[in-house]
Amino acid sequence: MHTPPLHTQIAVIGAGPVGVLAALALQRQGKQVLLIEARPQHTVIRDKRTLALSFNSVAAFAAAGIELPQDESTPIIDVHISQQGLFGRTLLRAADMGVAALGLTVDYAVLMRQCEAALVAQQTDVLWNTQVRRVRTLKHFAELSLEHNGESHQLTADWVILAEGGHLTDGLPGLQRHSYDYRQSALVTTLTFEQAGNGTAYERFADEGPFALLPYHDAWRLVWTRSPEDAIALKEMPFEAFASRFEAAFGSRLGALQSRGELAVFPLQLKQLNKVYSGRVICIGNAAQTMHPVAAQGLNLGVRDALAVSRLLGQARNLNQPDLAVHYAADRRLDAHAIVGFTHSLVTLFDHPDLVLKLGRSGVMSLLDSLPSARKKFTEQLIFGL
């Protein structure tokens, strides 16, 4: 699309994975959709993150025409959850759920490339290189102030879906963003061991900070939560010293650590809106909440946001119903609050050094592992939501 229209039924702001999924799903249901993205088309994505997508998320992207190449993704067959230095562990198995894999890992850049290919293939209307300067919500529609290719434009929409980083929520009535600074950083790198990749993801609550070790081709991607000072020190540490520190936390179940890739450090915060709508604007994905990465639930929660909003607006015969946003918020409340709360508790409770609490956590993991029905229900909620 070369110039903005005057009006569209649904404007989706943000062409990340969640925004693209919502736009494609709504378009497939016959709605008039306009996707708006600040970056130019065909921008090279330099984001180094690796994502852990649940079975449900992989299926959602596939249903929208976003295919993830097998040679650029890695199945997660099992998830091994343990605690350093104490008994007790839980093993979540794909076989228990009757699926080939609980999910997969894929680089963010690969997913974005496939999202853009799907937009082209399905001829979705996209305004690339377009900044949304302001969003106003009125009684019967929302109004957007745009800067497209250096020129100012006004656009109205029956509904606006915010799927960007959340800065546009600041001026919307009734919305407040609650933040919690964990005063932690995530250290991210790629590790190879004597043992090649086996499809198992490891969630380890180590004494020096919890970490996730995600299968990544024949290696693993490490996301280790540490204090900002520790994360920088680990980043600058020689390989031999780093290997000693990591093996002390993880053990030798994969053999000796053989290599370490480029290291990156990211600050960690929890951000969540007090409510996910304001008039004719609905917030999904990172616009609604950003989470700690320890349980790899952030994008998967955003995918379920996108599915819910596209189902609600896609099935509505008449979009001129202000209470559609209320229905969306009610539909997503339990899942969003439960997953955000669960992730937050993992960081704040499982990171506590108290021995009594550690023994209690070990007992809970052992009990969960010994009860197949409870373990299956827990796994189901992680990959499908509540």
Question: What does pTM read for this prediction?
Answer: 0.90
Can you give the CATH number for the domain in which 60 is found? 3.50.50.60
Q: Quote the domain boundaries for residue 31.
A: 7-42+50-66+108-178+269-347
218 within some domain: no
Residue-wise pLDDT tens digits, 83-126? 877 666 788 889 988 899 999 999 999 999 999 999 999 999 99
Work out the percent of the chain whose per-residue pLDDT is above 90.
64
Amino acid letter for position 126: V
What distances in angstroms separate CA 156 from CA 7, 21, 93, 142, one per listed residue?
5, 22, 48, 6
pLDDT band at residue 222 under the 50/70/90 scheme: very high
Residue-wise pLDDT tens digits, 314-368? 999 999 999 999 999 999 999 888 888 767 676 666 555 565 566 666 656 655 5
Q: Which of 41, 29, 37 is nearest to 12 (CA)?
A: 37
Amino acid letter for position 223: V
Residues 229-249 have a mean pLDDT of 96
264 within some domain: no
β-pairing, 78-83 vs 89-93, is: antiparallel
370 within some domain: no
155 within some domain: yes
Q: Which of 163, 155, 164 is nearest to 136 (CA)?
A: 155
User: How many domains does the chain contain in total?
Assistant: 1
54 within some domain: yes
304 within some domain: yes
In angstroms, rounded to a whole number, what is the distance separating the alpha carbons of residues 136 and 273? 18
125 within some domain: yes
31 within some domain: yes
Q: Which of 211, 219, 4, 224 is nearest to 125 (CA)?
A: 4
In angstroms, rounded to a whole number, what is the distance separating the alpha carbons of residues 36 and 38? 7
